[in-house]
Structure 1
Amino acid sequence: MEISSYKKDPQLFLSGLDSVELDKLQGGSSSELKKLVKLLQEKKIIITATYDKKIDSNPFADKVVTENEVLLKKVLAYFLPADSKNPGGQYDLQIKAGFEQLHKLINDAAAAGKTKFTLREFLAATHFSLTPDRIDDDVIGAMLDAMGSHSSKRDTLKHEVGKLTAELRTYSVIQSEISTAQQHNGTVEVGRKGVNIFDYKHYGYDSHEAFAKKDANGQYNPQYQLLKEIVIERKEAMLVSGNGDIDKIVDYEASELGITSEQYRAKLRNELSDLKSDKPVFLSARDFLTSPKKDTGALSNVHHSYKYEKDNNPLSNFATTVGDRAKPLNDKLGQKTTELNDISSRYNAVIEALNRFIQKYESVMQQILQAI
Structure 2
Amino acid sequence: MIKKIFSGFFFSVLSVVLICVLFVSIMLNIILLGVTAAQQEQSTKSDSFNEKVVEGESDKSKILIVPLQGVISDSGPDTYTVNSRHVKKVFEQAEKDNRIRGVILYINSPGGTITATDKIFHIITKYKNVKKVPVIAYFDGVAASGGYYIAMACDKVICHATTITGSIGVIMSFYQAQELLKDKLGIESIVIKSGEHKDIGSFSRNITEEEREIFNGILMEMYATFLEKVRSGRKELTDMPEDELKKIADGRIYTGKQALELKLVDELGYFDDAKDSICETLGIKRSDTSFVQYEKNVNPFFELLQAQTKAENPVQSMLRQKFTANFYYLWRP
Per the TM superposition, whether the score is higher than 0.5 is: no
TM-score by length of 1: 0.24
Higher-helix-fraction structure: 1
TM-score by length of 2: 0.26
**Bigger Cα Rg:** 1
